[in-house]
Structure 1
Amino acid sequence: MEIAVSAKKHTVTLKPLQSSTASSTVGPAKSEQKSKEKSKGYSTRDTFVDGAKETKKTSSDKDKKIDKLIDAAKGQIGYKEGRNNGNKFTKEMTGKSGQAWCADFVSWAAKEAGLSKPKSSLAQGIADQLEAKGQWKGRHDPKKGDAVTFQWDGNSKKPADHVGIVERVFEKNGKKYITYISGNSSDSVSRRTMPWNDKAIMGYGSMIK
């Protein structure tokens, strides 16, 4: 006796995996991983790229004011007074037509940098106002943007008879110097360089704290 077994044929159709399907399957996992990294604060771009650039460009408000002060003073180099000490700095600061104006020039530059003080028509007055604010240093530690006062005969007991603004401090051949800008210097706004501890220098004061 013969028994015939008939097996049903099962056909399985395999569809090739499309590239679009693959990307849609993997995509959410990567996206989810990135969002988790950002939520933890581990974004490499934010921390090392953008952060570093921003830090490099940022400067303090004090530095910005000092630069503004120096730029105001430098922009006037070469300006000459008129007859009878006539000058625009005295006119703007006091309303007078002319007088000895080195302190008026320093006061004007301070105003251009957004400072209310120092503001005086006397070289000694500039030093006194800075001393009252606790910003007078005496004959040491000159810095860019400082007021510097002079007594040309070297007598420190006399009031200052000239004042300027320190533009820079530098060393040359092992010695330290300052370059300063002042008004009413040979009847003009001039730039001068001398040793930082020259006997004519009475002292330095920080105009911007």
Structure 2
Amino acid sequence: MATMYSLLFGILFTAVCGNLDAIHHIVSPPTSLGQENDAHSMRVRIIEIATAEIGVREATGNNDGERVEVYLAYTGLGKGHAWCAAFVSWCYAQAGFPEPRNAWSPALFPNARTYCRGNACRDSKTSVRIKPADVFGIYGYGAKRINHVGLVQGIEPNYILTVEGNVENRVLAKRRHLSTINAFSNWIE
């Protein structure tokens, strides 16, 4: 319990003392520990953090740049590595979650956290389970595994709205058809 409070205090201190990100978006700190307890509030907070990063770009198009390297460093890596999973992990950390904390995309879909894979993600029963701040994964046929991840920002019929890193060398928001998604995981509940 003390570790959780230390982590939350550190995040609160960082947010209050350094509440501007690398591209000068204001990132509001959590208002208090008690008000951020429910899952909905945490989901909103993660999406606020992620959307504040929209526009961050790589410096040279080689998985580098000051902000990109901050995401990678959170997962123990330096510049030059793919950073979509590191971005997702970093967003969760800024909201006070110690996990996920991994730069390898498949690691964000352990059985205990994943509620659909493959064609099951296209089922109407699954689409009602998708929530903001869930993690989505896209399967890369060349890699033969999930090789891109991001955060669900919102849901539309047959589509998800996303915030994701390492797409077109930057953080951006996209609209993706459910048929392109291979897995969803829930790291909050």
Provide the TM-score with structure 1 as the length reference.
Answer: 0.61
Q: Which amino acid aligns with 2:91?
A: A
Q: 1:101 to 1:170 in 2, by over 3 A?
A: same
Work out the number of aligned pairs and report it.
140
Q: Which residue of 2 aligns with 1:207?
A: 187
**Which of 85, 91, 95 in structure 1 is aligned with 2:63?**
85
Quick one: structure 1 residues 85 and 191, their matched pair in 2 at CA, closer, same or farther if it must change by over 3 Å? same
Alignment correspondent of 2:46 = 69
8 Å contact from structure 2 (residues 74, 101) kept in 1? no
Percent of residue pairs identical: 24
Cα distance, 1:68 vs structure 2: 0.9
RMSD over aligned Cα, in angstroms? 2.1
Aligned-pair distance for 1:91?
2.7
Deviation of 1:125 (Å): 1.0
Letter matched to residue 148 of structure 1: F
Give the aligned residue type for 1:142. I
Structure 1 residue 95: Cα displacement:
4.8
The runs of at least 4 consecutive aligned structure 1 residues that moved more than 3 Å come to none
Counterparts in 2 of 1:19-168, with a 5 A limit? 61-83=38-60, 84-86=62-64, 87=68, 88-128=70-110, 131=111, 134-138=112-116, 139=121, 140=126, 141-153=129-141, 158-168=144-154
Q: 1:137 is matched by which residue type in structure 2?
A: Y
TM-score, normalization by structure 2: 0.68
Deviations 1:184-203 (A, max 9, x none): 0010001110222x1x3111
Deviation at 1:61, TM superposition (A): 1.3
Gaps of 5+ in 2: 1-34
Unaligned 5+ runs, structure 1:
1-57
